[in-house]
Amino acid sequence: MAEAIAIISIVGHGLAGAFYGEEQIPSTWRLKLSMRETIVNFADRLLLLSSNRRSEAAVNQIF
């Protein structure tokens, strides 16, 4: 049960971050984030993909 609650919390925080944006997360938290560069890179790629989701060229460029 605790594992399910943790997963729901993670998903909820992720959705809130996507909705409110990175700027709403305190900078002190962002700077301490483990694997920050990887996460930011992945988020940027997802944004590009969602903006061009019908474009196969964009998918090939990302992956």
Task: For residues 49 and 21, give the distance between their C-alpha atoms in angstroms, rounded to a whole number.
Answer: 17
Q: Where are the domains of the chain?
A: 24-63
pLDDT value at residue 38? 92
Q: Are 42 and 59 in contact (CB under 8 A)?
A: no
Sign of the CA dihedral with 33 first, then 13, 42, and 40 last:
negative
pLDDT for the residue numbered 29: 84
Alpha helices, DSSP H, located in the chain = 2-20, 27-32, 36-51, 56-62
Q: What is the pLDDT along the chain (63 residues), one digit of tens a residue?
A: 778 888 888 888 878 877 888 888 888 988 888 898 998 898 888 888 877 665 666 556 666
pLDDT for the residue numbered 11: 84
Look-up of token digits 């996507």: 18
